[in-house]
Amino acid sequence: MAGRVLVVTSGKGGVGKTTTTANIGAGLALLGRKVCLIDADIGLRNLDVVLGLENRIVYDLTDVVEGNCRVRQALIKDKRTDNLYLLPAAQTKEKEAVAPEQMKALCDELREDFEYVIVDCPAGIERGFKNAIAGADEAIIVTTPEVAAVRDADRIIGLLEASELYEPRLIINRIRPQMVRKGDMMGIEDIIEILAIKLLGVVPDDETIIVSTNKGEPVVMDKRSRAGQAYNNIVRRIEGLDVPFMSLEEEGLLTRLKRALLGHS
Amino acid sequence: MARDYVAFKGTKQGLVLWLDPQAEFSDIVNQLREKLSRTKDFWQGVTVTLKESQRKCRPEEKRQLEEVMGEFGMALREEPEEVVSIGKVQEDQSLMVDRDNALIVRRTLRSGQRVHYPGSVVILGDVNPGAEVVAGGDIIVLGALRGVAHAGAMGEEDAVVVAFRLQPTQLRIAHFISRAPDDADLPEPQGPEIAQVRNNLITIQSYST
Amino acid sequence: MLDFLRQFWNRDSDSSRQIAKKRLQLVLVHDRVNVSPSLLEALKEDLLEVISKYMEIEEEGLEVNLDRFENSVALVANIPVRRLKRSLEQGRLS
């Protein structure tokens, strides 16, 4: 088996990379895919906490690279989903301990056993970024509808091209449909027009994300959450399915009623 | 359980499987299976070296051990020749833990900070989540222990971890590992507590002199 | 109430959404050019060639940059001139 290696990146911090990585990983695993997540943010790891696995860590990415243990020993199995594994980042070690060639070798080793290897990239464009993208075949860029985040996304697209990662796909996170309608927030078309790349999905700003992150439970498992639905659609698009983009308009009373009565939307 | 016929020991060579030289082989196999099934998930993917300096195993016995460990996703490896040599003995001595020699850390350890010391470690402050204390001897935290603590890191199973508030992400003593249960709303510890290995398990009790 | 009305009228002309978009487009023009200094270098050579037909300039002192003013991106060239040529070159005169 030769799995796909995806990197989730953004340039700017705080736009929701880690949450996105966790949800894509959990979503793919729910579809029955064998998935390994790699936290490449050495020294500022977060993916373990988002998944609620922080107390299971014994070995980490740096241990694997330095040969203190084998990859299998460092992989942590998710507590809810059978096919989901995490390779955590080191929290107490130096970033420089890992080099891009080593990351590439690691990704290639993991893709033998997993259908998807998803790398959570640290913010910034330095060593951590170069490590994270070293072994990837495809890139997913996360941005929010803010000037600074979109600008950084543009920079990242350029850097990915320079590393021969063409055609990255975009996830626009934390859209607030009401603000867009009022003209107080850039909309999907605005951002796509500016960045000129393919859209992979749009995730509405949703309080359920905060609640699920607090619990260490990816929101994609919550079928009622709109953000969860959005991640589900993204996952199916990654799988190659043609999934229409969901309407961001709040459901009116009438549609909701209709759905309840007729059993479909 | 009357006696331990089987033990896993953490050494410089990694995990080592020790077998009682006097015990019946069938007892050994039974106990091994029982031990492993108690902590199933932990052993997945672990490789263990079979220590044969005290008990020599026949080939079919080895196959049986391998079979049991395979059920738990473990692999058995034979001890390389050079491990049992004079060099090994000297190495062990250099690793002797001086537990009376303690490092005193006069501050709180924050996420990403870590203290490594061959002797015992005393922290005058907290150990926050994401911080790590690794000591050859005991670990004493005069504050809250919320990060990872590894006492007896070179294999001393009688090392202890003491803290005013013992709420670690993960506790390790020698080669034993325990972590907080996932969804339990644990009562907050009311006073100082001590963690130590009892019957091959890390146990926590309130600490009183 | 007045605020509400103002917001209502301003909806399309300069809502913060439009402002954000415009600012972003300007920033990116600059960013993207900054990423390829080779393009500026090529432009510099072409400029030099054209201007040399009309005046003698100090090649070392030539500076070409993209600058951003309040709401536009401008090409700013600093070209020290030694002297003007009296007439166009022979070929041009005839």
pLDDT band at B46 (very low <50, low <70, confident <90, very high): confident
| CA distances, A229 to each of A142, A208, A211, A215 (Å) | 17, 12, 16, 18
The two three-digit tokens of residue B46, written as one number: 């672990």
Note whether A148 contacts B: Cβ–Cβ < 8 A. Answer: no
Return the pLDDT at A135: 94
Return the pLDDT at B90: 36
Question: Do C and B touch (≥3 CB pairs < 8 Å)?
Answer: no
Stated pTM of the model: 0.67
Average pLDDT over residues B51-72: 80
Instruction: Check whether B203 has a pLDDT greater than 80.
Output: yes
Residues whose CB falls within 8 Å of the CB of residue A226, separated by 6 or more in sequence, listed in order: A204, A206, A208
Q: Whose CA is closest to A62, among A34, A38, A30, A33?
A: A38
Note whether A163 contacts B: Cβ–Cβ < 8 A. Answer: no
Residue pLDDT, tens place only, A47-70: 999 999 999 999 999 999 999 999
> Which residues of chain B does A70 touch, with a Cβ-Cβ cutoff of 8 Å?
45, 47
Beta carbons of B10 and B134 less than 8 angstroms apart: no
Q: Which residues of A39-69 are buried (b: 16+ CB within 10 A; e: fewer)?
A: bbbbbbbbbbbbbbbbbbbbbbbbbbbeeeb
Average pLDDT over residues B119-133: 94
Q: Which domain holds residue A46?
A: 4-262
Amino acid sitting at position A33:
R
Please, what is the angle between helix A17-30 and helix A226-238, to 10°? 70
Range with lowest mean pLDDT among A61-65, A198-202, A250-254: A250-254
Return the pLDDT at B81: 45
Closest-CA distance of chain C to residue A147, Å: 6
Q: Where are the domains of chain C?
A: 16-93
Return the pLDDT at B193: 94
Beta carbons of A84 and A26 less than 8 angstroms apart: yes
Partner-chain residue, chosen from A54, A75, A92, that has the shortest CB–CB distance to B112: A92
pLDDT band at B85 (very low <50, low <70, confident <90, very high): very low
The two three-digit tokens of residue B207, written as one number: 């600490």
| CA distances, A197 to each of A4, A171, A194, A236, B180 (Å) | 20, 10, 9, 19, 45
Gap between the Cα atoms of C90 and B31, Å rounded: 105
Touching C (3+ Cβ pairs <8 A), the chains are: A
Instruction: Check whether B77 has a pLDDT greater than 90.
Output: no
Residue A116, domain CATH: 3.40.50.300
Residue entry with tokens 């994609």: A220
Note whether B111 contacts A: Cβ–Cβ < 8 A. Answer: yes
> Which residues of chain B does A75 touch, with a Cβ-Cβ cutoff of 8 Å?
45
CATH topology of domain B6-91: Transcription Regulator spoIIAA (3.30.750)
Mean pLDDT taken over chain A: 90
Average pLDDT over residues B148-164: 94
Amino acid sitting at position C62:
L
* Pairing mode of beta strands B193-198, B161-166: antiparallel
pLDDT band at C94 (very low <50, low <70, confident <90, very high): very low
Q: Specify the 3-state DSSP secondary structure of A186.
A: coil
Q: Whose CA is closest to A41, among A79, A108, A83, A98?
A: A98
CB-based contact B44 A56, cutoff 8 Å: no
ipTM beyond cut 0.85: no
Beta-bridged to residue B203, according to DSSP, are B196
CB-based contact C25 A182, cutoff 8 Å: no
Sign of CA dihedral A98, A103, A109, A114: positive
The two three-digit tokens of residue B184, written as one number: 């339990």
Q: Where are the domains of chain B?
A: 6-91, 102-206
- Mutation for testing the C interface, residue in A186, A188, A197 having most C CBs under 10 Å: A186
Spell out the CATH class of B102-206.
Answer: mainly beta
The pair phi, psi for residue C6, each rounded to 5°, is: -60, -45
How open is the CA angle A5-A6-A8, to the nearest 5 degrees?
150
